[in-house]
Structure 1
Amino acid sequence: MTPFRKDLEQRLKNPQFREEYEQLESDFVIMQALIDTRKKLGLTQQQLAQRTKINQADISKIEKGISNPSLNTLKKLAKGMHMRLQIKFIPIED
């Protein structure tokens, strides 16, 4: 186990930290999924912007976690990458 992972597991024992971490986790999952999918398809942000009619700067902000995309924006991004957007609700672990 890496020192980072070990530290994270220790911090997650704190209920307040865990709640804040879990709230941010979905943002990170969305950001990483967008970046990974775009790169896997060999698309630049500019190419994805052209396909979706979303400004390249806005795509950059989403990928950096600066912007919180709407559901409609996520659907446009998925369509621009010839993907289907899927959202899941997952039970909270105690």
Structure 2
Amino acid sequence: MSYYKDYKEKVLKDPEVKKEYDALQPEYDLIQAMIDARISENLTQKELSERTGITQADISRIENGTRNPSLAMLKRLAEGLGMQLRLEFVRKPMKP
């Protein structure tokens, strides 16, 4: 397991941290999906930058959560990864 995953598992045991994390879950999911896709294609941030015309610095900012990409930028990233962007709405689990 990666250092990040170990750390995440540890800090999410704190109820306050978990509440805040859950509020940001869509952003974290997007970031992780982008990182996973880039790695699965064996691309560095620089290589993805060259394919998309998005600066490596912006790709880094997106991946570390300090930049929120537009839908247009997400489409460019998906294209550069040789993938299709798919967004969906899913029902929240019902609270007891």
Say whether the fold is shared (TM-score over 0.5): yes
Structure 1's unaligned 5+ residue stretches are none
How many residues are aligned here?
86
Provide the C-alpha distance between the structure 2 equivalents of 1:65 and 1:88, rounded to a whole number of angstroms.
Answer: 21
Provide runs of 4+ in structure 1 moved above 6 Å. Answer: none
More deviation in 21-30 or 59-68? 21-30
Structure 2's unaligned 5+ residue stretches are 1-5
- Residue-by-residue CA offset, 1:61-82 (whole Å, 9 max, x unaligned): 0000000111111000000011
Q: Which amino acid aligns with 1:33?
A: A
What residue in structure 2 maps to residue 21 of structure 1? 21
TM-score normalised by structure 2 residue count: 0.78
Q: 1:33 to 1:6 in 2, by over 3 A?
A: closer
* Identical counterparts, % of pairs: 41
Q: Which has the larger radius of gyration?
A: 1
Q: 1:90 to 1:22 in 2, by over 3 A?
A: farther
Q: Which amino acid aligns with 2:26?
A: S
Structure 1 residue matching 2:24: 3-state secondary structure: helix
TM-score normalised by structure 1 residue count: 0.79
**CA RMSD after TM alignment:** 2.2
What residue in structure 1 maps to residue 80 of structure 2? 80
